[in-house]
Structure 1
Amino acid sequence: MYQWDFTPVLANADLLWQGLLGTLSITGTALAFGLPLGLLLALGRLSPRRWLAWPAGFVIEFFRTTPPLVQLFWFFFALPILIDIRMTPYLAAAITFSIQSSAFFAEVFRAGIVSVERGQWEAGRAIGMRGPQVMRRVVLPQAVKRMIPAFTERAIELMKTTTLVATVSYADLLYQANELAQKTFRPIEIFTATALIYFVVIFGLSLIVQAVERRLAVSGDNTVRQGAG
């Protein structure tokens, strides 16, 4: 019978905490840059001008359909060769997941904008607003409210995807767990504790998603679910 011993986990809890902070840091950075970039991509894809719509559509589809690990390796190993810069694991991860998440956020934004009734556009123009003003003052406030659950779900998926940064030696939670497992020779306990940490954080976020969805359902607002991919 295997004798469980979580003493190494408790003794190195500070390292796991640092790893969790690293995971939250890269997730927060990707959200901070991915959301505005996703909005720009969505507006570009919805534009009637082909020179905007086609490039935006290509970026969205490319980063939604290619594996995030390949993207991470490209930014970490290939980009420094092409432009002669020093690429740190954090910078490579921030660029990768900001762009990759923006492609998914763009589709959420696009679905939310399209879900707003055409009459809202016409009402805005009827009182003298121009297209950008109608988008900013009338359409986006309604669309964003409907998209909150989808945004939160995407943030959860993003956090799970960031475990890939361990492959480029960024000290996230998974990287720290792997280091501790090799040093303490207690991989079962270390990775069990790591899984529980991810569960607590992500399950807590999913509870927030459910609460938001219930609140929006009570208020009568429709919600936009994120697209498959």
Structure 2
Amino acid sequence: MSDNLREVFDLTLFGEYRAVLLKGLWMSLGVFTSSAVLALALGLGIALLRVGRRPWLRRYAIFHTEVARNAPDYIMIVWVHFVLPLLVGKVIGQRLEFNPFYSAVIALAFVYSGYFAETFRAGIEAVPRGHIEAGQALGMSARRITWRLVLPQVVRRMLPESTNQFISMFKATSIVSLIAVPDLMYQVQMVSAQEMKPMPLYTGAALVYFVIVFCAATALQSFSSRWRAKVYA
């Protein structure tokens, strides 16, 4: 093994800075968790508008979904952090700056809300019409039918696809260092600039992402398979 290749896989430096890098990893997980919750809530709302009865709301939902799904993560993060404050500042008449953490959460939530909206919509439309009619025959309100009959079936159907979307979202957190969010990659860059040994640090970061994604995907797929096998009334 050459000296250069040996240096790539020598993770001693990664271990020496584990406290700083672990702090960055927690920040990455915080960005992912916050953006995932917001994306799910926004995606569900857009999906309900998409299948609703009001045409103008359906048109807005379609517009939101298409813009979100076609917006690159990289560009959206930069746009939300640097351009959106200028637009909002013009409206309110004062200078405005966004915290990098909130900018990253808003950008990722917006992008992935489009994917979740389509997943929710497909799940809603896959629910048998007879189930809804049975709820109406029992005198259930439209809201109660949605929450008690439709959504439990939707969640069960959307788990496999949503697992892939969660994985993509977590990997997308690796670019939030563009706007100085002190995540794992930001800390790797700072340590690399100080030690002038980027290869082992980036190799260690890649291994961390791989382990987290692999373990989370395996656990979610196992849970999804078991839960979907059950029959719910």
TM-score (norm 2): 0.89
Count of residues in correspondence between the two structures:
221
Aligned counterpart in structure 1 of residue 117 of structure 2, from 103, 106, 109: 106
Contact 2:156 2:224 in 1 (8 A): no
Q: Does 1:215 align with 2:215?
A: no
C-alpha distance in structure 2 between counterparts of 1:26 and 1:93, whole Å: 7
Q: Does 1:48 align with 2:61?
A: no
Deviations along 1:167-205, one digit per CA (max 9) or x if unpaired, are 111111111112212211221110111011001110011
Aligned residue type for 2:56 = W
1:58 match:
63
Contact 1:149 1:212 in 2 (8 A): no
Deviations along 1:32-59, one digit per CA (max 9) or x if unpaired, are 2111111100001111211110011101
Contact 2:157 2:228 in 1 (8 A): no
Deviations along 1:142-161, one digit per CA (max 9) or x if unpaired, are 21122223223211110111
Structure 1 pair 110–201 and aligned structure 2 pair: CA distance change class (3 A): same
Aligned residue type for 1:17 = L
2:168 match:
157
Q: Report SS of the residue matched to 1:29.
A: helix
Q: Does 1:77 align with 2:82?
A: yes
C-alpha distance in structure 1 between counterparts of 2:229 and 2:98, whole Å: 48
2:186 match:
175
Q: Does 1:12 align with 2:17?
A: yes
Aligned residue type for 1:141 = P
Identity %: 34
Q: Does 1:130 align with 2:135?
A: no
Q: What is the root-mean-square deviation of aligned Cα atoms in Å?
A: 1.6
C-alpha distance in structure 2 between counterparts of 1:151 and 1:141, whole Å: 15
Gaps of 5+ in 1: 222-229
Aligned counterpart in structure 1 of residue 41 of structure 2, from 21, 24, 36: 36
TM-score (norm 1): 0.91
Gaps of 5+ in 2: 90-95
Deviations along 1:56-82, one digit per CA (max 9) or x if unpaired, are 110111010121211111111111112
Contact 1:35 1:102 in 2 (8 A): yes
Structure 1 pair 138–218 and aligned structure 2 pair: CA distance change class (3 A): closer
C-alpha distance in structure 2 between counterparts of 1:140 and 1:8, whole Å: 48
